[in-house]
A and B are shown apart, each in its own frame.
Chain A
Amino acid sequence: MTLTGWGRTRRAEVDACRPERGQTAIGLLKGRYDRGILAHGLGRSYGDAPLNDGGNILLTERLNRMVSFDPSDGTLVCEAGVTFDDLLTAFLPRGFLPPTSPGTAFATIGGAIANDVHGKNHDRVGSFGDHVLWLDLILPTGEMARVSPTERPELFAATIGGVGLTGVILHACFRLRRVFSGSVDVRERRMPDLDAFMASLSEARETAGYSVGWIDGMARGGDMGRGILETAETAATDAPAKPSKARAVPIDLPGFTLNPLSINLFNQAYYRRVSAEGRTRTMPIRQFLYPLDAIHHWNRIYGKRGFHQFQAVIPDAEAVAGMRKLLEAISEARAGSFLAVLKTLGGEGRGLLSFPTRGYTLALDFPRRDGVEDLMARLTAIALDHGGRIYLAKDAVLDAASFARMYPKLGDFRHVLDGIDPDRRIQSDLSRRLDIRGVSP
């Protein structure tokens, strides 16, 4: 079958299996695969991290049982194919939320761990991997291993953010967070330019429960970096439930739908919909955390050529200079798309290849057109110059040399993999592109 990442720029012809029981998955890892095997959840990574072209794929979507739950402290054990949507449906009515969540509820817990995902509350709670108590991992040889910060800690650290290369996560144990309502009070404010935005984000990371900025990537000159800052706190009571039905983009839209004019109009409208004085609203937390989930297959608006997402983090000290250069390059190329997301991250993740570090992160989509990959290479160089790194969950274009400079613990990661998977039984398009395994020892 053919699989793609969410950005649909990369395709893979794979031989896929879809076990419905853990025992079956264990048996499958013991098989012989010429070009390796890789776990694949719901394919919400944008680039080629979830792909293994010409090789084998183990789909985890039917390994989605919840195993145990302790309401006294929120400890949940579940299979790795459980989604954030499953967690919210089951636990939000009982006053529990996942500790942190990516921008879509249609990601699996296995994927959240393998990419050490972060949310709009990273400064406060860290990334998903920070909340994992232990994992049951099917090793590349088909053996089972319980890994945690105290049991085989190096293997645990390699698995958090390890883009699936340490094996297949079967069970994960982590703690849900208590909340007193399923809604948030969201405050939106206009930010006139980049300096104001960065200063406000810097304040919000210390004071707000959640914070995220939406930047108009098309604005230039004095307006460059303008946008909307959203901060949010858990609401005291639930917002009135408004049953909203998800809509879907039924077909690939033609490539010309998104052009500088239409995008510019959209971004202008998005900026002006919040009045100059700002506004405060109470909304269901799903709507706040997952605005795009209301439109199924939203990736189709970019047409069948797909789109790239660029996401880099730049450490605090270099962030102001780095973000300015990134935005200058983007607005100069007139390649910006819908709103770019700017937010702060609180600190290093626990994984050897975890993306987060204390700094500012910018994420935006680029419709895949000629020249976009050149622009992304320029942006990558700017990020690297300022001590930044690229998020592997989003990436399809990074080169191996830049990757090695961005992830200083790559050597440790390789060492762990050489120990558990000398025959390279787990592979992905990403691992080959970035030469993650390196030269054989």
Chain B
Amino acid sequence: MTNSTWLVLGASSSIARAFALEAAAQGDDVLLAGRDTADLERGAADIRIRHDVQVEVIDFDAEVVDSHDAFVDAVTTRAAGFGDKPLNVFLAFGLMPDQSAIDADPDQAQRAIMATYAGAVSVLHRLAPILEARKSGHVVVLGSVAGDRGRIKNYVYGSAKAGLHAYLQGLRNRLFRSGVTVTTVKPGFIDTTMTWGMPGLFLVASPRDCARACLRYAKKGAEIRYFPSFWWVIMTIIKNIPEPIFKRLSI
């Protein structure tokens, strides 16, 4: 089995942390990227102790796009330090302020878009040539069911994820020519800090199960997947509600 290196973007999140552990359990090396490097260092120690693989931490802020060139250089250097292995990318960051907080302070919309969409495009677009040159690798990006239809409760975050979904379709089209797979995973309810304490959730999946599914999809080179998969049914129904009716709903 040839092992690879996973670059995990937004690595402090529950799903990303679970993903890094699962990848390491299979023998892959991991680069953890995010803002809270102190927390990431603790996560890195945890992975090293449990799975005896190489783990390093790189400072990364999705919202500061000026820093992304330097970041991608750092990724290349660190990944090379792990040996000549395929490079894969798992992107898990996003910012979901309460819709009411955005309504009160429209600047929050800008932040949500920067962190969730513009920052993701910025970093993926800089990583794309590296992946193309290697002619292999997997990219897995967490989208959201919120991006499938704009809803009163969450439409700024939803629109950012919708933009991301469209971007990933194009990126998939482009990287396919170089043998790189791009997978969009649209999680339903996952038991993370983002959903903790929210009322009305059902059939909540664990971050670990989500992470395992993401790894599986990557290996298969899947294109678009809902997790848990029954969300495909739910979202198909929601997407097909005619707009004159949908505008009256508050789901």
**A interface residues with partner B (beta carbon < 8 Å):** 18, 20-22, 62, 65-69, 76, 86, 89-90
Q: Let me know if B103 is at the binding interface, CB within 8 A.
A: no
Give, as a whole number of angstroms, the nearest-CB distance from B14 to chain A: 7
Q: Which of B36, B46, B51, B196 contacts A65 (CB 8 A)?
A: B46
A200 vs B36: C-alpha distance in the bound complex, in angstroms? Answer: 57
Q: Which of B14, B49, B193, B196 contacts A66 (CB 8 A)?
A: B49
Q: Which of B36, B45, B196 contacts A67 (CB 8 A)?
A: B45
Q: Which of B36, B42, B45, B49 contacts A90 (CB 8 A)?
A: B49
Across the interface, do B45 and A68 meet the contact criterion of CB distance under 8 Å? yes
Q: Let me know if B94 is at the binding interface, CB within 8 A.
A: no
Q: Let me know if B143 is at the binding interface, CB within 8 A.
A: no
Give residues of chain B (188-211) contacting chain A, Cβ–Cβ below 8 Å. 193, 196
Across the interface, do A86 and B50 meet the contact criterion of CB distance under 8 Å? yes
A398 vs B42: C-alpha distance in the bound complex, in angstroms? Answer: 41
Q: Which of A18, A22, A66 contacts B50 (CB 8 A)?
A: A66
A388 vs B42: C-alpha distance in the bound complex, in angstroms? Answer: 44
Across the interface, do A66 and B39 meet the contact criterion of CB distance under 8 Å? no
Q: Which of A62, A66, A86, A89 contacts B45 (CB 8 A)?
A: A66
Across the interface, do A67 and B42 meet the contact criterion of CB distance under 8 Å? yes
A68 vs B50: C-alpha distance in the bound complex, in angstroms? Answer: 10
A20 with B45, Cβ < 8 A, contacts A66-B50, A86-B50, A90-B50 known: no
Q: Mark B204-237, 1 if CB is under 8 A from A, else 0.
A: 0000000000000000000000000000000000
Q: Let me know if B10 is at the binding interface, CB within 8 A.
A: no
Q: Let me know if B34 is at the binding interface, CB within 8 A.
A: no
Across the interface, do B14 and A21 meet the contact criterion of CB distance under 8 Å? no
A423 vs B123: C-alpha distance in the bound complex, in angstroms? Answer: 51
- On chain B, the residues within 8 Å of A90 by CB distance are 49-51
Q: Which of A62, A68, A76, A89 contacts B14 (CB 8 A)?
A: A62
- On chain B, the residues within 8 Å of A69 by CB distance are 49
Which 7 A-B pairs give the minimum distances between C-beta atoms? A65-B46, A66-B49, A90-B50, A69-B49, A66-B46, A65-B42, A21-B39
A89 vs B45: C-alpha distance in the bound complex, in angstroms? Answer: 16
Q: Mark B47-89, 1 if CB is under 8 A from A, else 0.
A: 0011100000000000000000000000000000000000000
Q: Let me know if B43 is at the binding interface, CB within 8 A.
A: yes
- On chain A, the residues within 8 Å of B46 by CB distance are 65-67
- On chain B, the residues within 8 Å of A20 by CB distance are 12, 14, 193
